[in-house]
Structure 1
Amino acid sequence: MGKFNVISLFIFLIGCGLQSSNKPSNKGLEQVNSIPSELLAQDLEMLQFWIHEAHGDPYRFTTKKKIDELFDQHIREIRNSGSMTEYEFLGHIFPIMAELRDGHSQAFPSDLDNIDGKVFLPFRIRFVDREPFVLKNYSDKPLSSGMRISKIDGEDADMFFNRLIPLVHRDGNIESIRYRRLENPMYLARMMKALGLSKEKHKIEVNDAGITKEYIVYPFDQMTYDRVSTVRESSTDKTIKLTFKKYGGSEIPIVTIRSFNPHYFNGSYESFTGQIDEVMGRIDQSKADKIILDLRNNSGGEDSYALYLLRYLMDKKFKYHGEVTFQKDDYKFLPDGKHWDIDPKCFRPNQKGTFDATDHLWPDGTSALGSFVPFENRFQKELVVLVNAFTFSAATEVAAILHHAKRAKILGEETGGSYIGNISGYIPTLRLPNSRIQINLALISIKRSFFGEQFTDRGVLPDILVEPAIDDILMKNDVTMTEALAL
């Protein structure tokens, strides 16, 4: 949704006293506390209750039977274990959250920002056509950028990562984001540690121009990894940027929007709309015949912001949302439920036994319900939209609505957000009482007006799929932009 995606409320419970013992764990290669299995089984039962009772649409992309069977399986395994470390327990939660198939709902360790132990591979990975390559090397071994990784610890790399891929949280059955998330060093380190794949050293086999080479590399702890891998980002990059690119005798305007999050606009809707007005005014003055809208790496934000942009781009009356519903009219059963006193004017009961959102859910004048007419000064010529796996939430909504209306040509890779709508809105961060593991749980079900018509479990699939080769990535050749300019 947008309105409350940017408000992630951290709710801290007073946890049960843990009976702990210091014993070695092969998950983190350090001394860690072990939690009695009965307390962890209670945590899983609590999570099962939250998902069934509070999640906005828990069985949109799966079934209650599958979810319940997974809970039963993992509760049995946990009870038979005697005790587990936190990360061993996470190894049981990840499959459940992945089966939920909701990209806004996920599990985190109790300490969100730190991972104990030497668990970071000393190089970054980039997947190209599902094959892993070395993107950047931080080890003391000659692992050159661009080498294809063929084996890890004697196991074929595709088999190694295929153990992780199914556990990556995502909307529906979207493929692209599964690989992109594993390119994130923190995400990969968490997954490897939870599945017991972290080791004191790793044997890496790579293919270097047809020659097989093997190296022993030693993983880093987080402090070392952060120190060697820090990249200074430019502070001058704007969230909304308009540039003109000369191509074929024309000046083509490129509108880059990196977020719809109010944080980047001083929390002001008027700041966002003012910048969009200025950009579209300059494009109108340029008499351009084509716009390239770059939504790559835009993780979403306020739907009212995305809706305002669409009114400049759509060529006919349209709906932004089809249905917006809550499961409940009262969420006080969630931990610290006093935070969930939702104004009764924000919803009304429907015939399905759930609750439809009303205009009061949004600030005055910014409701995303109903039908919308494009602005009179809208752009009416050719529109090309660039997307990738990190085009998510409200940014995917823009791409999906333009695609369904056949208003734009979409280039890039499959979006990370669902084509038919997502589960988002209010997203509390809840702590399981015994393990202290954090759970983001999305409470509002959102469906596009074209829900169920096509791509029912996928993202926006581009009209033209563009996946750069590893050499293009290393040379920073933007082949997607090049393709868009040439259309």
Structure 2
Amino acid sequence: MTSIEFYRAIAPIIVELKDGHTFMFPPILEHLEKIKLFPLDVVIIEDKVFAKHDYSSTVQGGSELLFINDIPIKTVVNQLLKYISSETREHAIAQLQRFFPVYLLVEFGSPDEFSAKVKNSEIKIVEIPSVCLESMDGSWLALPPYSYQYLEEHKVGILTLSSMENPKEFGELLKGIFSQLKEKDADLIIDLRDCMGGNSVLGDMVISYISDKDLHVSGRKSYQKVSEQLKKQRDYEWLQNAKIGDMMEKNARRIYYLH
């Protein structure tokens, strides 16, 4: 059994857990530079797939893909979604959109070309040659964790997140963003479509700028039960008399209760 065959067998089982934090990446990611890929960046809206950019210069941007290798595009999408762990279909679609060439490779291999029926001003069948990764942008493999742009003509800022990491750096970015928005009396769009999750503290940081209430994306309390054996130990006297600060982690939302 090859690594791809193993992935095809195991990934759908993991997906049944419906937990975006429990997933299995395709085993071919580290070998992509040696493999030919479907050459389109795509946009997926519900079950429809549109060409965003074609690195083989075969399909016009904005064209709708109706069939790939004689398979209806809705069927193709559903076949690929079985490999993507997520709590919601919408989030799975976002991940499929980002890594469409990779999951297509998992399911259909790496042929020299793909046959596709596309719709633009007319419906036609085209042969789309596969291309090497070096011929593609490849930015979808390593998106920056977050980026920001301000559209002066629309008076709106767009904060795009692909992962939630590095709170210190993100805090500095937010400080600048909301200072600008306040100065220009502008709106903010937060684009989470490609976000793969991460540290929920970043969500708390955003909320702190848009709400006067003390809200948190998530939190928890940990309870510590003390056994009779521990109570007989010499150190238990310290445990009873310790200050709250001695029994708390630096995470302010985690408090230990003794009983």
1:95 matches 2:12: yes
Match of 1:163 among 75, 79, 91: 79
Q: How far apart are 1:228 and its partner, in Å?
A: 1.7
Q: How far apart are 1:98 and its partner, in Å?
A: 1.0
1:205 maps to: 117
Residue type of the alignment partner of 1:214 = I
Which structure's relative contact order is higher, taking Cα pairs within 8 Å and 6+ residues apart?
A: 1
Distance 1:241 1:181, change over 3 A: closer
Tell me the TM-score normalized by structure 1.
0.40
Match of 2:103 among 182, 191, 207: 191
Asked if 2 retains the 8 angstrom alpha-carbon contact of 1:304 and 1:368, the reply is: no
Distance 1:116 1:189, change over 3 A: same
1:177 matches 2:81: no
Question: For structure 1, which runs of at least 5 residues remain unmatched after alignment?
Answer: 1-83, 326-346, 351-357, 371-487
Distance 1:194 1:227, change over 3 A: closer
Match of 1:132 among 49, 52, 56: 49
Asked if 2 retains the 8 angstrom alpha-carbon contact of 1:147 and 1:208, the reply is: yes
1:367 maps to: 252
Deviations 1:95-131 (A, max 9, x none): 0121121212211355642248655113222223321
Instruction: State the percentage of identical aligned residues.
Output: 16
1:49-60 mapped onto 2 (5 Å cutoff): none
1:214 matches 2:118: no
Asked if 1 retains the 8 angstrom alpha-carbon contact of 2:39 and 2:101, the reply is: no
Q: Distance in 2 between matches of 1:176 and 1:200?
A: 31
Q: Distance in 2 between matches of 1:244 and 1:192?
A: 35
Deviations 1:354-408 (A, max 9, x none): xxxx852xxx3x43448xxxxxxxxxxxxxxxxxxxxxxxxxxxxxxxxxxxxxx
Asked if 1 retains the 8 angstrom alpha-carbon contact of 2:64 and 2:120, the reply is: yes
**What's the Cα RMSD here?**
3.8
Q: Distance in 2 between matches of 1:124 and 1:166?
A: 20
Q: Distance in 2 between matches of 1:217 and 1:244?
A: 36
More helix by share: 2
1:250-329 mapped onto 2 (5 Å cutoff): 252=155, 254=157, 256=159, 258=161, 260-262=164-166, 269=168, 272-277=170-175, 279-280=177-178, 286=183, 288=185, 291-296=187-192, 297-323=194-220
Match of 1:230 among 137, 141, 146: 137
2:38 maps to: 121
Question: For structure 2, which runs of at least 5 residues remain unmatched after alignment?
Answer: 227-246
Distance 1:319 1:212, change over 3 A: closer
Asked if 2 retains the 8 angstrom alpha-carbon contact of 1:319 and 1:369, the reply is: no
Q: Distance in 1 between matches of 2:149 and 2:213?
A: 25
Asked if 2 retains the 8 angstrom alpha-carbon contact of 1:150 and 1:157, the reply is: yes
Q: How far apart are 1:92 and its partner, in Å?
A: 0.4
Asked if 2 retains the 8 angstrom alpha-carbon contact of 1:118 and 1:219, the reply is: no
Residue type of the alignment partner of 1:228 = S
Distance 1:102 1:120, change over 3 A: same
Tell me the TM-score normalized by structure 2.
0.69
Q: Distance in 2 between matches of 1:232 and 1:95?
A: 27
Q: How far apart are 1:150 and its partner, in Å?
A: 1.4
Deviations 1:405-455 (A, max 9, x none): xxxxxxxxxxxxxxxxxxxxxxxxxxxxxxxxxxxxxxxxxxxxxxxxxxx
